[in-house]
């Protein structure tokens, strides 16, 4: 394809129908602001530039898009309609040659192949404007496509301005267009806001172009799912379902088993290898999951890497962590950011790990908190072990060298280092470092008074 369009994303509107303080395009669909999905599409296409029109919550929107390098922002101060939004980029775009592809920040389900088709049509038909349309059973809320007797597009009528007869038209405008730049701005200078909403409609330029005998082409999309515009939270939920299905299908086709897929939510940036199983309630964001890993029900994994043969048992939460081959986590465990687990590590039920390294074969099987620690190879942390890492001001480090055995219900008051192969007796509060192969024991001496309990009860009868 030789067409190298400039891309313009309209994202300045408030999105009144969302009834939200958050700008509409920042509402999340599969863990990402909806505008990300539009920008992912834009960046996947051959393009000369990408521009975003911001306005309502402009700074927040700009901040949310900072990872898209090279995108430029134009501010639409007052939201006076989609035509006015496009005009905000006029000074830049008018200096450019060629064509502009206009995308809408709230139309997120378009497929790359469909847009390529639109651009191809635009090019082969030598059109001045090509617009995406589709047929909807219920077209309420969308602009309707008006065609003449020969079937050529002659304009678009917004829902608010349409007659009862026009409302019956089922072909709708998807809000996605390709324009020849010079003709677009020429037509934009000729429209008014004399309509029910008092807005400058981008859709009005179609009629202007047709009147001037410029070529306007309607590209009818067969799959109306793609053109869904997210105007309210009902549509948001619909769009999320569609995207979820697409993502899940992609992974299943790649050899991933999803049990109860309608309740599994995986974002578009997660990579999963073959023979992975994910159970119902799984929510996975920006992660990499290696082959033969199992993620049991109701677990959340985000910004993490799981190597192969990992087992995440039911109800666990994994955040910004790395998990080595054949390691087991959970049930009901929590890896907080910065946890790095080696090979065949075991993190058992109700264990919380934060910013800590577990070397190969280390274990914390039950009811523990391990923070800011380095746990050596094959260390066994007994039930109820706790690192006391925080003094209310600073965090301190615990180092437990390889082969240590830490008895149940022990605490380590950091900072300290336990030398390799040391033993800590159950119930010990460790306050000082110890050299390798030590026994560390700190317990109150036991007092036993035989028969005391019996006498005590009797005296209190
Ligand atoms: C628009 C179209 C309608 C089409 C529908 C498809 C117009 C006048 N109508 O209606 O024909 O069927 O999309 O989804 O274009 N925006 C701005 N600045 C503004 C107003 C809007 O940047 O002043 C942005 C919004 O943030 C949004 C996009 O433009 O991303 C579309 O605006 P929206 O208000 O959702 O238009 P619709 O009523 O859906
Ligand atoms: Ca819309």
- Residue 6 appears among annotated catalytic residues: no
Q: Which of 13, 36, 203 should be mutated for ligand 1, with most atoms under 8 A from CB?
A: 13
Q: For residue range 2-47, what is the model confidence (pLDDT) as tens digits?
A: 789 999 999 999 899 999 999 999 999 999 999 999 999 999 999 9
- Predicted confidence at residue 461, as pLDDT, reads 85
In a domain, 454, yes or no: no
- Final residue belonging to a domain, choices 169, 204, 227: 227
| Together in a domain, 210 and 245 | no
Specify the pTM: 0.95
182 C-alpha to ligand 2 centroid (Å)? 25
Q: For residue range 134-160, what is the model confidence (pLDDT) as tens digits?
A: 999 999 999 999 999 999 999 999 999
In a domain, 323, yes or no: yes
- Final residue belonging to a domain, choices 198, 227, 256: 227
- Predicted confidence at residue 2, as pLDDT, reads 74
Structural domain count, the chain? 2
- Predicted confidence at residue 1, as pLDDT, reads 55
Successive 10-residue mean pLDDT values, the chain, 461 residues: 90 95 97 98 97 97 97 97 98 96 98 97 98 97 97 97 97 98 98 97 98 97 96 98 98 98 98 98 98 98 98 98 98 98 98 98 98 98 98 97 98 98 98 98 94 96 85
Question: Residue 154: which CATH number?
Answer: 3.90.550.10
79 close to ligand 1 (CB < 6 Angstrom):
yes
Domain region containing 181:
6-227
199 C-alpha to ligand 2 centroid (Å)? 14
In a domain, 457, yes or no: no
In a domain, 456, yes or no: no
- Partnered with residue 129 across adjacent β-strands are 179, 216
In the block, tokens 């199983």 appear at: 277
């Amino acid at each position: 394809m030789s067409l190298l369009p400039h891309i313009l994303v309209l994202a300045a509107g408030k999105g009144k129908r969302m009834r939200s303080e958050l700008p509409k395009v920042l509402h999340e669909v599969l863990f990402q602001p909806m505008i990300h999905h539009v920008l992912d599409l834009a960046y996947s296409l051959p393009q000369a530039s990408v521009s975003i029109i911001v306005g309502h919550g402009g700074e927040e929107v700009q901040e949310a898009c900072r990872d898209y390098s090279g995108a430029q922002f134009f501010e639409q101060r007052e939201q006076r309609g989609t035509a006015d939004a496009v005009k905000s980029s006029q000074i830049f775009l008018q200096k450019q040659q060629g064509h502009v592809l206009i995308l809408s920040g709230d139309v997120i389900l378009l497929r790359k192949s469909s847009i390529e088709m639109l651009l191809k049509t635009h090019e082969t038909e030598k059109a001045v404007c090509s617009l995406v349309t589709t047929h909807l059973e219920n077209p309420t809320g969308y602009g309707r496509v008006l065609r003449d007797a020969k079937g050529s597009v002659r304009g678009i009528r917004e829902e608010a301005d349409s007659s009862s007869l026009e409302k019956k038209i089922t072909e709708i405008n998807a809000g996605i267009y390709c324009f020849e730049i010079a003709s677009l701005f020429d037509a934009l200078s000729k429209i008014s806001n004399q309509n029910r909403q008092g807005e400058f409609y981008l859709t009005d330029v179609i009629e202007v172009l047709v009147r001037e005998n410029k070529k306007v082409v309607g590209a009818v999309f067969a799959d109306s799912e793609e053109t869904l515009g997210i105007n309210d939270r009902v549509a948001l939920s619909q769009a999320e379902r569609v995207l979820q299905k697409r993502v899940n299908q992609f992974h299943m086709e790649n050899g991933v088993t999803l049990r109860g897929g309608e309740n599994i939510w995986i974002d578009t940036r997660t990579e999963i290898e073959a023979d992975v199983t994910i159970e119902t309630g799984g929510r996975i964001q920006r992660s990499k999951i290696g082959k033969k890993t199992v993620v049991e029900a109701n677990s959340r994994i985000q910004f993490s890497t799981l190597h192969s043969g990992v087992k995440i048992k039911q109800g666990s939460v994994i955040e910004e962590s790395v998990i080595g081959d054949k390691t087991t986590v959970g049930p009901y465990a929590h890896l907080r950011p910065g946890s790095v687990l080696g090979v065949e590590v075991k993190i058992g039920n109700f264990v919380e790990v934060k910013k800590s390294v577990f070397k190969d074969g280390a274990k914390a099987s039950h009811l523990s908190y391990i923070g800011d620690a380095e746990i050596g190879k094959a260390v066994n942390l007994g039930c109820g072990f706790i690192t006391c890492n925080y003094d209310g001001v600073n965090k301190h480090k615990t180092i437990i060298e390889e082969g240590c055995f830490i008895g149940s219900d022990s605490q380590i008051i950091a900072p300290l280092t336990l030398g390799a192969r040391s033993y800590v007796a159950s119930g010990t509060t460790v306050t000082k470092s110890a050299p390798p192969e030590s026994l560390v024991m700190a317990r109150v001496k036991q007092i036993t008074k035989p028969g005391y309990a019996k006498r005590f009860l009797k005296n209190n009868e």
